[in-house]
Structure 1
Amino acid sequence: MLTITKALRDAVIAHARRDHPDEACGIIAGPEGSDTPTRLVEMVNAASSPTFYEFDSTELLTLYKQMWAADEEPVVIYHSHTATEAYPSRTDIGLASEPGAHYVLVSTRDLDDGGEAEFRSFRIVDGVVTEEEITFTD
């Protein structure tokens, strides 16, 4: 189960809205071993694509160095889907390399029609996708 503040959820959705129609991506770091997301880091989608995201390797390395120095780890890895539901694609599953992380997907496909963003969380371990419940806290 993912427990995340409403403020972090809203910030992830705001990032996805800003980057739409391209996919947005980022990481929410937290204290190592805590499973508590605390620090949102919006990343640049190096692919600049509405159908694919790619972390910039230099930016990602810098972030990991910062996390290591602060005894943090990636608790949530998120990105948006602009035209499909918030469910991991085959590409997303293949790229999932943090077995302890929560993979959050936000779908912005209904925004042009005045709809809400879809926000879902998954665990992806060894290619197996498991959707999990989300608890939002104040």
Structure 2
Amino acid sequence: MAEADDLLTALVDHVFALAGRFTEAGDAITGPEDLSAARWLVLGALQDGPLSPAEIARRRGVARQSIRESVARLERSGHLSRTDGTDQRTFLVALTSRGREALARIEPRRRAWAEETAAAVEVEALRDAVAVLARLRAS
């Protein structure tokens, strides 16, 4: 099992390094919209409909506090709005037209970056990587 332990440690090192690089890329992609990668993640989570900040945090695998901060900034900038939740303690957030329009303008830049970056690896290797990371995330 020592080999599996070493491999997992190496994988974690690469994931942390890539997370930083992906955040930098996300900031560059969203910069023209005066957004950050963190706020873009919130907007993207809302594409299929309203969610609570807690639901966004769970889906994105980040701390609720960072989502709350992003939600507050996105509300102030007009990219999203609050709606009533299931009880008085919760609320949902939803994209506004400004938020949807920002995502639409970001999408071509995201696609170009993804195509360029993915060209460094075979498609089958990417499929395998996604499957492995999904299994590890679920365990």
TM range, normalised to the smaller chain?
A: under 0.3
> Which protein is bigger by CA-based radius of gyration?
2
Higher share in helix: 2
Larger RCO of the pair (alpha carbons < 8 Å, separation 6+):
1
TM-score (structure 2 length as normaliser) = 0.26
